[in-house]
Chain A
Amino acid sequence: MLSMHNISKVFRTDLVQTHALRDFSLEVAAGEFVAVTGPSGSGKTTFLNIAGLLENFDGGSYRLDGVDVAGLSDSALARLRNEKIGFIFQSFNLIPDLNLFDNVDVPLRYRGFSAAERKQRIEEALEKVGLGARMKHLPSQLSGGQQQRAAIARALAGSPRFLLADEPTGNLDSLMARQVMELLEQLHEEGTTIVMVTHDAELARRAPRNIHVLDGAVSDLHVVGTPSLRAATV
């Protein structure tokens, strides 16, 4: 599903160069659920952005679902993003003056579905996250957990095969975090490939596969919940 080889990414500002990723290599097979942990600034978000085609990279190669993404045009990348990838962000990123229905509608619009199909998909997605009765609500009228569930509905409405989540529970209390995690686990069981960045070691342990990122590279592919990992993710 995802295949990265020796990816490097350098951020250059006037004064400093930051090697956000160096020789970052990772294979994620279709249907996997991977939790990514690592200290702040280690490059987790950078990896996720590159995986989600939101950021380009300086070296290495990346194949998404068999497609080499290097050299694709902006509109080809946009289409790939739209069809294959669902994003879930820490701060939900719902559009404040669109109601839930219209928020979930956004990726479907760019997909070019008919009005009838969009309506059906939006309703199904919102039902699935338990917000079927709140379609006309604005994001501000919902709790944080409900907002994140709406964001998940938006991510899965286009039935992408690949979900990327950057600290999806970071802004939620533990009860709501658990609900979101259960939702992700359900999606995983239905066959979606999920890569989730988290600072929460307990949540990470619930994922079948954990990877640890340190200084812009994958440091340990196998460790699950060791004391050293817990220390690193405080």
Chain B
Amino acid sequence: MFAYYLRLSLASLRRHPALSALMVLAIAIGIGVCMTTLTVHTLMSSDPIPWKSDKLFAVRLDSWGPDRPWEEPNEPPPELNWRDATALMASDIPPRHAAMFKSMFTVQNEDPGFAPYMVEARITHKDFFALFDTPFLHGGGWGDSADKNLEQVVVLGKVANDKLFGGENSVGRTIRLDEREFKVVGVLADWQPVPKFYDVNNGNFDAAEDIYLPWGTAQPFQLRTAGNTNGWKPENIDSFDAFLNSESVWIQFWAELPDTETKARYQAFLDAYVGEQKKLGRFPRPLNNRLSDVNQFMSERHVVGDDNRVLVGLSFLFLAVCLINMVGLLLAKFLGKAPELALRRALGASQWQIVQLNLVEVGLVGLLGGVLGLGLAYGGLEAVKTLYASNDGNDVRLYALNLPLALQAMAIALAASLLAGLYPALKVGRLAPAGLLKTQ
């Protein structure tokens, strides 16, 4: 019977192509808009490192000023200063931990004819790669000594390796960063966590940096952060060392804490450290040291903005408007078919069979609308991509449809159209056949 209904529905849709196209379009536009916003939202709010997001903790110390918190109600600043980051690195409680910040260089390869270009880099500790399970194509990270002493080594991201070395294994080769030579020790495969959870102070959805330098290079080369620097205390900063000794915060700090016992020990360590520092006249605020796992941190730092959620809500409202339109169109369509449906009743169809036939037709409209809607969503995402991705460096994968979302779109289209079709289908199914037959 279903195949019969399907055949009749196709014929019925072909009979009034304009009306059918209008209905398909109504669903398609609604679905297209919803899927565009939903895709961006889903990817924005997805867990960037699901297999260990509950064991990775952003470390925050409340080193802010006495008068007001960093952010209401009582949020500690999201970053650390140099002194505290250095002190925390001395702990051996976390099996892995790393401080990090973003910087900028002009980069060049061994070929003097190569045109240098600007590149974003991350200065961090050796654990960074194991902490976040970054995939290596060639080589690996650096050793402990490179974090403590000056060693001119780098790990290249995939894009940098492609640009500088044509994608070859560049381990052992050298590059120049701001005229200083560095030896390549490792090359990463493509690695782009979305959101870029380990540094949400400088663009939540930026692409990952393309070059990684050991911590030991920061002080000797006086590497400045290319990200935000925040301070509360009026200090006289006239040298790089004065900057390192100031209360300015600019360093992200992450620790892996495999179980609650380790986490409790680490929390106690942080509290003890701040307690010591209070005796030295630092940390004027009440004790407020925070360990937030990846997902807590994303929500505490409002990585997915409320405006984004509002946008998703609005687009679903828009879908509802499309559906209300569709109810009217379907009613017109089914009432037009009423004499034929009455005839079917006379020839032995029950009300329910008429309703089923109508719903199959509606479902067909929904599925066609869903397919077209996916096309529109694809176009919409391309448009959003060209609008935003290029100019603020957002990761382009935010704007890519994926299979689960496409299936979700088809399900929404089907459910929405059935919802819109229920009233017209029932109404026309219940019309008394006798009166309609006479008018034919």
Contact residues in A for B4 (Cβ distance below 8 Å): 109
Q: CA separation between A33 and B437, bound complex, in Å?
A: 24
From DSSP, what is the main secondary structure of chain A's interface residues?
helix
Q: CA separation between A154 and B348, bound complex, in Å?
A: 12
Contact residues in B for A81 (Cβ distance below 8 Å): 346-348
Indicate if A137 sits at the interface (CB-CB under 8 A): no
Contact residues in A for B350 (Cβ distance below 8 Å): 74-75, 77-79
Task: Please determine whether B440 and A54 come into contact, CB atoms closer than 8 angstroms.
Answer: no
Contact residues in B for A43 (Cβ distance below 8 Å): none
Contact residues in A for B20 (Cβ distance below 8 Å): none
Indicate if B385 sits at the interface (CB-CB under 8 A): no
Task: Please determine whether B1 and A54 come into contact, CB atoms closer than 8 angstroms.
Answer: no
Task: Please determine whether B345 and A78 come into contact, CB atoms closer than 8 angstroms.
Answer: yes
Interface residues of B in 346-399 (CB under 8 A from A): 346-353
Distance in angstroms from B166 CB to nearest chain A CB is: 64
Nearest CB in chain B to that of A160: its residue: B348
Indicate if B438 sits at the interface (CB-CB under 8 A): yes
Indicate if A61 sits at the interface (CB-CB under 8 A): no
Count A-side interface residues using an 8 Å CB cutoff: 27
Task: Please determine whether B347 and A87 come into contact, CB atoms closer than 8 angstroms.
Answer: yes
Interface bracket on B: 20 to 34
Q: CA separation between A49 and B435, bound complex, in Å?
A: 10
B1-45: CB near A (< 8 Å → 1, else 0) gives 100100000010001000000000000000000000000000000
Contact residues in B for A82 (Cβ distance below 8 Å): 347-349
Task: Please determine whether A93 and B351 come into contact, CB atoms closer than 8 angstroms.
Answer: no
Indicate if B314 sits at the interface (CB-CB under 8 A): no
Contact residues in A for B352 (Cβ distance below 8 Å): 74-75
Contact residues in B for A111 (Cβ distance below 8 Å): 348
Contact partner, A78, options B15, B349, B432, B437, Cβ 8 Å = B349
18 A-B contacts (beta carbon < 8 Å)? A49-B434, A54-B437, A75-B351, A75-B352, A78-B345, A78-B348, A78-B349, A78-B350, A81-B346, A87-B346, A87-B347, A89-B440, A97-B11, A97-B15, A98-B11, A106-B347, A109-B1, A109-B4
- With contacts A54-B434, A55-B432, A93-B339 known, what are 11 further pairs, Cβ within 8 A? A75-B350, A78-B345, A78-B349, A78-B351, A78-B353, A93-B440, A106-B344, A109-B1, A111-B348, A154-B347, A158-B348
**A residues touching B (Cβ–Cβ < 8 Å)?**
45, 49, 52, 54-55, 74-75, 77-79, 81-83, 87, 89, 91, 93, 95, 97-98, 106-107, 109-111, 154, 158
**B residues touching A (Cβ–Cβ < 8 Å)?**
1, 4, 11, 15, 339-340, 343-353, 432-434, 437-438, 440
